A and B are shown apart, each in its own frame.
Chain A
Amino acid sequence: DTGVSQNPRHKITKRGQNVTFRCDPISEHNRLYWYRQTLGQGPEFLTYFQNEAQLEKSRLLSDRFSAERPKGSFSTLEIQRTEQGDSAMYLCASSLESSTDTQYFGPGTRLTVL
Chain B
Amino acid sequence: QKEVEQNSGPLSVPEGAIASLNCTYSDRGSQSFFWYRQYSGKSPELIMFIYSNGDKEDGRFTAQLNKASQYVSLLIRDSQPSDSATYLCAVEGAGRRALTFGSGTRLQVQP
Which positions in A face B, CB cutoff 8 Å?
Answer: 31, 33, 35, 40-45, 48, 50, 55-56, 58, 89, 91, 95, 100-108
Contact = CB atoms under 8 A, between A and B. Distances in A.
Contacts, number: 56
Interface string B70-93: 000000000000000000101010
14 contacts: A41-B103, A42-B88, A42-B101, A43-B44, A43-B99, A45-B100, A50-B97, A58-B98, A91-B43, A101-B32, A101-B92, A103-B34, A105-B43, A108-B43
A105 B102 contact: no
A40 B99 CA distance: 17
Contacts of A106: 43
Contacts of B45: 105
A72 to B, nearest CB: 16
B43 A42 contact: no
Contact of A103 (B96, B99, B102, B104): B99
Give 5 nearest A-B pairs by CB, closest first. Answer: A42-B101, A45-B98, A105-B43, A108-B43, A105-B44
A33 B98 contact: yes
Given A33-B99, A44-B101, A95-B97, 9 more contacts: A35-B99, A40-B8, A42-B103, A45-B100, A91-B44, A101-B97, A102-B46, A103-B46, A105-B43
Contacts of A41: 103-104
A100 B45 CA distance: 16
Contacts of A105: 36, 43-46
B90 to A, nearest CB: 7
B4 to A, nearest CB: 8
B97 A31 contact: yes
B42 interface: yes
B49 interface: yes
A48 B93 CA distance: 14
